[in-house]
């Protein structure tokens, strides 16, 4: 069997992490609101913790949302600093 050439790894994909985590957080909170009126029925059937699990998911999602926003802003600042450094560095200029 012939060997195939090894290809380099592709660059990582850029995704809108803030929107993804925000959507997930909203879904967890929506699930909490939907399950809340059925709390007594869920409690009778042994599933009384489900609404609180959804609320915990929404709370953890808020922490994730804070983290993703901080990460996004740090990446933007680093890219801006690299661009400013490349602009002022005479060795990298191509004038």
* Contact in structure between 17 and 68 (CB atoms under 8 Å): yes
State the pLDDT at residue 12. Answer: 85
Q: What is the mean pLDDT of the chain?
A: 91
Give residue-wise pLDDT tens across range 27-64. Answer: 999 999 999 999 999 999 999 999 999 999 999 999 99
The structure's pTM equals: 0.75
The backbone torsions φ and ψ at residue 28, rounded to the nearest 5 degrees and listed phi first, read -65, -40
């Amino acid at each position: 069997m012939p060997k195939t050439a090894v290809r380099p790894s592709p660059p990582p994909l850029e995704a809108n992490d803030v929107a993804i985590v925000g959507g997930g957080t909203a879904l967890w909170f929506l699930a909490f609101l939907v399950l809340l009126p059925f709390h007594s029925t869920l409690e009778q059937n042994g599933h009384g913790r489900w609404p609180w699990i959804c609320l915990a998911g929404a709370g953890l999602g808020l922490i994730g949302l804070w983290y993703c926003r901080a990460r996004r802003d740090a990446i933007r600042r680093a890219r801006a600093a690299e661009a400013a450094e490349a602009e002022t560095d005479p060795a990298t200029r191509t004038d």
